[in-house]
Amino acid sequence: MIKPHGSDTLNPLYVEDDAKRAELIKEAAGLPSIVISSAAAGNAVMLGSGYFNPLTGYMNKADAMAVAKDMHMADGFFWPTPVLNMVEDASAIKDAKRIALLDPNVEGNPVIAIQDVEAIEEYTDDEMKAMTESIFRTLDMDHPGVNAFNTVGKTGIAGPIQVLNYSYFDKEFPETFRTAVQIRDEIGKLGWETVVAFQTRNPMHRAHEGLTKMAMEAVNADGAVIHMLLGKLKKGDIPADVRDAAIRKMVELYFKPNTCMITGYGFDMLYAGPKEAVLHAVFRQNMGCTHLIVGRDHAGVGDYYGGFDAQTIFDDITKDDLLIDIYRGDHTAYSKKLGKVIMMGSVTDHTKDDWVFLSGTKVREMLAAGEDLPPEFARPEVAKILMGYYQSEAAK
């Protein structure tokens, strides 16, 4: 099986030992505490789950600025995006060496982690601007990732953490949320050697299904891990529970038995396009996948990135940086001429009318109105689940 990023074994930061964890929860009650951002809580969950191996906690300014600039920490270690605990005001923990981090996404703000404070550093406006531009390639506050990154504060709390729970993810998505440790163990039990990862924040239509199957066939994969983001999305994206149900139905009916694992991870979407694609590759390697599918406009939003920028960023990433391989997917759609889903770039004899295309807006309008989607675009059983959601939203 492929090695984790930066180490021989996975080193998750979640405290597994029940007695030790109970002891830390008790300790946390007496520590200075601070409610962290949703982004920082997501980072804690990813660190706890082993997805962000081999990091030991939140980055300091030197590492964060270096990572944002050229995807390497100050000591040269490869990492694609800053992993930060940024707050508006750190006065409540001033001079503290050990603090309790409180979860903003769970009622009552329980402790999600304990952090050893190595540094509390202020980021200047110019430093925030430089990081934003490097990560997102834009400073536009209408970009959801840029907005989220720049509205949580400019004070960074750096240092290692011990993670005490997985926030709301394991409770709200008990059938889907899995740690990198659990996925790696399951891949080992199944005896899979070549494993394809498919990243999604949306339900999977015929094009996504086809792309996954093409990738599996191209690399002769033993199986695929469909790995969905379970955290916060932008307005208009389909909620995780609806997406989960739709994907499960598609796999149940249209994939060969025992070739697909459906899982999810606890993290908020960055919408950082190319840089986020590289982060996706890092944590898919950590969970044991040998290949990541990177399709058109991977992790993008709006028109901020070129359609294949998330693929070309890997041109300069070597095996010294990452071991995982990238399967590069072209724009994929159903061909009326051939009667199947194919990559559009693989044929030269098609006109616009030979493809089945629907815009996201058109799909939403049809589903809300109770109109069936073309079976060439979406599996009927999947469309039925999505229709139920959109009709309930329209009725509100």
Give CATH 3.40.50.620 domain extents, the chain: 175-394
**What is the structure's pLDDT at 216?**
98
The structure's pTM equals 0.95
Please state, as a whole number, how many other Cβ atoms lie within 10 Å of the Cβ of residue 186. Answer: 17
Q: Is 85 noted as a catalytic residue in this protein?
A: no
In this structure, the number of other CB atoms found within 10 A of the CB of residue 393 comes to 14
Please determine, looking at this structure, whether the domain spanning 175-394 carries the CATH number 3.30.70.141: no
> What span, in angstroms and rounded, lies between the C-alpha atoms of 97 and 74?
23
pLDDT of 209 above 80: yes
Residues forming CATH 3.10.400.10 domain(s) in the chain: 18-170
**pLDDT at residue 376 in the model:** 92
Selecting among 98, 109, 202, 248, the annotated active-site residue is 202
pLDDT band of residue 360 (cuts 50, 70, 90) is: confident
For residue range 237-287, what is the model confidence (pLDDT) as tens digits?
Answer: 788 889 999 999 999 999 999 999 999 999 999 999 999 999 999 999 999
Which among 343, 265, 335, 349 is positioned nearest to 307, based on CA atoms? 343
Q: Give the pairing of strands 98-102 and 33-35.
A: parallel
pLDDT score at 223: 98
Q: What is 297-333 written as a DSSP string?
A: TTT--TTSS-TTHHHHGGGG--TTT---EEEEPPPEE
Q: Where does 18-170 sit in CATH, by number?
A: 3.10.400.10
Q: What is the pLDDT of residue 35?
A: 98
Q: Which of 98, 201, 248, 328 is catalytic?
A: 201
201 is catalytic: yes
pLDDT-derived band at 331 (thresholds 50, 70, 90) equals confident
